[in-house]
């Protein structure tokens, strides 16, 4: 073999290496960074935070990256949604979004983001009803007692929520309208601070998630009166729904779902859907979420977009008809 043939052979051997070095690094595009941020719009300790941490742990294991929870409470979750909408476009930030900022708040207030144009749907996360609880200090024992007291004392009974435009806020406003009562809305920056004031007798009632309220129901500090969904809660089979307690058709279910900035490339958004759906279908994750009263609801991106559109239309109509405001 002469020198020219040797050089030609070496060049051919080097070609695959050169092509590999200069080829687009699609395999390295996901995860976008070694550290992924999962934003939560409520304070640590509430249902959103609990669910997010269960999902984040499994997600990190699956994709080989650190998934860090970033709690950004305030304005019923709107602050976190605005942050994500204007966040990095590389897909390294995802949001465990919620029904309020995505489908309710846009009908009640001016927002610094458009949930349809500025946020991209990834998948539905979890679905669950709330439960109306009162502090033992109120002396109220049943849902009928609650309504009777509210009718006899207009404006004297208040209810906590996780913020203006949240599902817990709308549940209270919906009951005000259907029962013809006047209970006063007191917004908080998440479930944990709302619960703290309820236990401290600084507020009378709260449309709480089951996971937040259950330990205190079991200890006797909180009294469960009724749930806001169409069926009774399996963990509280003796507690009626509001619908069966004299207000047929009452339904105010809560949900959390995953979204990202609309600036993120479609390929990354689609991959997030794949990875998140995989986590939400994992038996250990399903069991952990169910233990906190959260039902996993994995969907395609398109299915979630259509669901969000339907929810927005429903709540928008209720808000307009009942003249509900964020005040």
The domain in which residue 270 lies consists of 35-128+254-322
Q: Distance between CA 287 and CA 208 in Å, rounded?
A: 21
145 lies in some domain: yes
**Residue 28: what pLDDT?**
43
- Supply the pLDDT for residue 1: 55
Q: What CATH number has the domain bearing residue 315?
A: 3.40.190.150
Q: Where is the domain boundary, 200, 227, 245?
A: 245
- Is the pLDDT at 9 greater than 80? The verdict is no
Q: Which secondary structure element, helix H or strand E, spans residue 134, and what is its range?
A: strand 119-135
Q: Which of 213, 245, 277 is the last residue of a domain?
A: 245
pLDDT tens for 94-137 read 999 999 999 999 999 999 999 999 999 999 999 999 999 999 99
Same domain? For 137 and 272 the reply is no
Q: Which of 191, 219, 245 is the last residue of a domain?
A: 245
Residues 135 and 240 in one domain: yes
In the block, which residue shows the tokens 């990354």?
268
Q: Is 88 exposed, middle or buried (0-12, 13-18, 19+ CB in 10 A)?
A: middle
Cβ pair 71, 104 in contact under 8 A:
no
CATH of the domain at 225: 3.40.190.10
Residues 100 and 89 in one domain: yes
pLDDT one-digit tens code per residue, 137-164: 999 999 999 999 999 999 999 999 988 8
- CB of 41 within 8 A of CB of 79? yes
Q: Residue 47 — pLDDT band, cuts 50, 70, 90? A: confident
Residue 275 falls within a domain, yes or no? yes
How many domains are there within the chain?
A: 2
């Amino acid at each position: 073999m002469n020198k020219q043939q040797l050089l030609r052979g070496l060049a051919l051997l080097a070609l695959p290496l050169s092509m590999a070095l200069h080829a687009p690094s699609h395999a390295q595009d996901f995860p976008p960074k070694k550290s992924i941020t999962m934003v939560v719009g409520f304070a640590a300790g509430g249902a959103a935070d609990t669910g997010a941490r269960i999902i984040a742990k499994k997600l990190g294991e699956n994709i080989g990256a650190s998934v860090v929870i970033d709690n950004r409470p305030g304005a019923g979750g709107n602050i976190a949604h605005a942050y994500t909408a204007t966040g990095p476009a590389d897909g390294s930030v995802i949001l465990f979004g919620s029904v309020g900022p995505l489908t309710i708040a846009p009908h009640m207030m001016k927002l610094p983001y458009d949930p349809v144009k500025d946020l991209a749907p990834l998948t539905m996360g979890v679905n669950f009803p709330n439960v109306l609880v009162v502090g033992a200090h109120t002396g109220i024992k049943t849902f009928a007692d609650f309504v009777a007291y509210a009718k006899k004392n207009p404006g004297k009974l208040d209810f906590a929520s996780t913020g203006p435009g949240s599902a817990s806020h709308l549940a209270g406003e919906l009951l005000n309208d259907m029962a013809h009562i006047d209970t006063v809305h007191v917004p908080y920056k998440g479930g944990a601070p709302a619960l703290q004031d309820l236990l401290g007798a600084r507020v009378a009632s709260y449309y709480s998630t089951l996971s937040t309220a259950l330990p205190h129901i079991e200890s006797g500090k909180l009294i469960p009166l009724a749930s806001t969904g169409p069926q009774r809660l399996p963990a509280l089979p003796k507690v009626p729904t509001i619908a069966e307690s004299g207000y047929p058709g009452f339904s105010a279910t809560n949900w959390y779902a995953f979204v990202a900035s609309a600036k993120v490339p479609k390929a990354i958004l689609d991959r997030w859907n794949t990875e998140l759906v995989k986590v939400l279908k994992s038996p250990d994750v399903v069991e952990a979420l169910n233990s906190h009263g959260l039902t996993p609801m994995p969907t395609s991106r398109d299915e979630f977009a259509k669901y969000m559109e339907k929810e927005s239309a429903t709540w928008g109509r209720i808000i307009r008809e009942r003249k509900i405001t964020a005040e």
